[in-house]
Amino acid sequence: MRFFSFTRKKIALVLGVSLIAQSVLLHIQPAFAADTKTPAATTAPATTTAPTGGELKVNAKSAIVMEASTGAVLYEMNADEALPPASMAKMMTEYLAMESIKEGKFTWDSQVTASKNAADVIGSGQLIAENETLSFKDMFSAMSIYSANDASVAFAELLGGGSEENFAKMMNEKAKQLGMSDQAHFISATGLSRADLKNPPQSIEGETKMTARDAAILAYNILKDHKEVLEFTKIPSLKLRPTDKTPMINWNWMLEGNSTNANFKKYAYTGLDGLKTGSTDDAGYCFTGTAERNGMRLITVVMGTKTEPERFNETRKLLDYGFNNFEIKPFLNAKQEIDSLKIVNIKKGVQTQVPLVTKTGLTFVTKKGAKDTDFKITAEPLEESKLVAPIAKGDTLGKVKVSYNGQEKTADLIANEDVEKGSWIRLLFRSIKNFFGDMFKGIKGGS
C-alpha cells in the first residue's frame, strides 16, 4: 500500500511540521474580532422610483407620491422642476421651530413676541399685533393651522437672531442636510415672492423654489423627526385666543376631521391629517398632503394647479392610486436564517462555526400581489480577519442585501450564539488534525 511506502524522511518532515505548529501556537496572543457594532450611517430617503402607473393623469405642473417610512417614490410627474412653493415653504420653518424644541432651546410654553416687521407682513394670517406675545405652541398653531405669515416671521426672528434673512440662510443649510436638491432655495420664512416682501434679503438672491421631490423629502423628514406636527395640522379649526370671536380655519379642506363639515365634507379624505397648503399668483395652488391607511402612510405633492379645489381633487387621485396599488410587505424578520449563509467559519474558537441570523427585519413598499420571487437576496460574511474568536452572541459577522424593483435594503447578520476562544492545546491538536487530514486527502487523491 502507498501509505507504507513513506520514507523516514517524510515521517521526519511530518513530525517537524507538528513541532513548528506547537511552537507557533504557544506564542499566540489573544486575538479579538474587530468591533462590528458601529451603528450604520444615516442615509437619505430611498427615492428610487417604484412602478409609476403611466395611466394616472394629474392636472398640475408637477406631482409625486412617496411612501413615508421608506421614502420610496410610487409615482412622479415632472417632479424635478423647481417651482415656487408658496406657503409650502413654511414646512421648513416648522421643521426648524420643532428642532429648537427638541434641542432644548425652547419649550412649547416659551414666549414669542411679534415685531412690527412680523405684524406688518402681508398675506395669510394678520391676526397678531405688533409686540403681542403668544406661547410657542399658540404661535406654532397659527403657522401650521392658519398658515399665518406673521407667526412665521415671528419664528424666523426668534430663531434667526432677530433677522428673517439669517433664518433664510438657516433654511437653506437645513435643506442641504436633509438631502433636498440643489434647486431648493429659500429667501424667507413664508414662501412669499420677493416682490411681496417689505424687507427682501440683500445677501440671498432669487426666489423661493422647490421641486415636488424636494417638498416630499422635506415632508418625509418632518414626519420622521418631528411627527408631533400632525397634532397641529390635523386640527380643522381653532381659536388662537380663547377670547377670539371666530376660529382660525385650516386651509386644508381634505382633513378627515372635515367629514362632518357641510362646506368641506366632499373633500375630506379618510386618514388625512396634514400637511401644508400654499398659493400665490406665481405658484398657483399647491398642496403637500399626508394620509395613513392600513399601516401605510403616503406623502403627496401637487404644485401649480389652476384652482383651489383642483389641488385637493388631484391629491385625491394620487392618494387613491397609492393606497389602491401598493402595500407594505415584510420580507425578512428579525432573528431569521438566510438560506445562502446560515453559518460562518470562525478561527481560534472552541467551535469552528457559528450560526447567523438577521439582526432586524426588512420591509418593502411593493405592488399589491408581489411574490417572494420578485426579490433578490445576496448575503456575504465579513472578511476573514474579523471572523476570529471570541465571538459574542449578537456580534455582526455579515450582511444580507435584498433588492426589489429599484429599492435596495441591507440588514446585519449576527452571531446567534457565543463562541469562546479555544485554548492553545485545543488549537494545537486541531492544527495537527487538520494537517494530517489535508495530507491524507492529498495522498488519497494523488496518482
Is 116 tagged catalytic? Answer: no
Half-sphere exposure of 381 (CA within 13 A, CB side): 19
Out of 90, 209, 348, 421, pick the active-site residue: 90
Q: Yes or no: say if 334 and 361 are a contact pair by the CB < 8 Å rule.
A: yes
> In whole angstroms, what separates CA 372 from the centre of its chain?
24
Q: Which amino acid is at 208?
A: T
Report the C-alpha gap between 217 and 336 in whole angstroms: 32
Is 90 tagged catalytic? Answer: yes
Question: What DSSP string runs through 40-106?
Answer: PPP------B----TT----SSEEEEEETTT--EEEEESTTS-B--GGGGHHHHHHHHHHHHHTTS-
Q: Taking every pair of C-alpha atoms in the chain, what is the biggest distance, in angstroms?
A: 110
Half-sphere exposure of 13 (CA within 13 A, CB side): 8
Query: 70: closest CA among 345, 404, 332, 365?
Result: 365
Out of 144, 147, 152, 279, pick the active-site residue: 147
Q: For residue 40, what are the contacts with CB-CB under 8 A and spacing of at least 6?
A: 412
Exposed, middle or buried, 328 (CB in 10 Å: 0-12/13-18/19+)?
middle
Q: Which residue has the cell 432573528?
A: 335
Q: Which residue has the cell 370671536?
A: 245
Task: Supply the residues annotated as catalytic.
Answer: 87, 90, 147
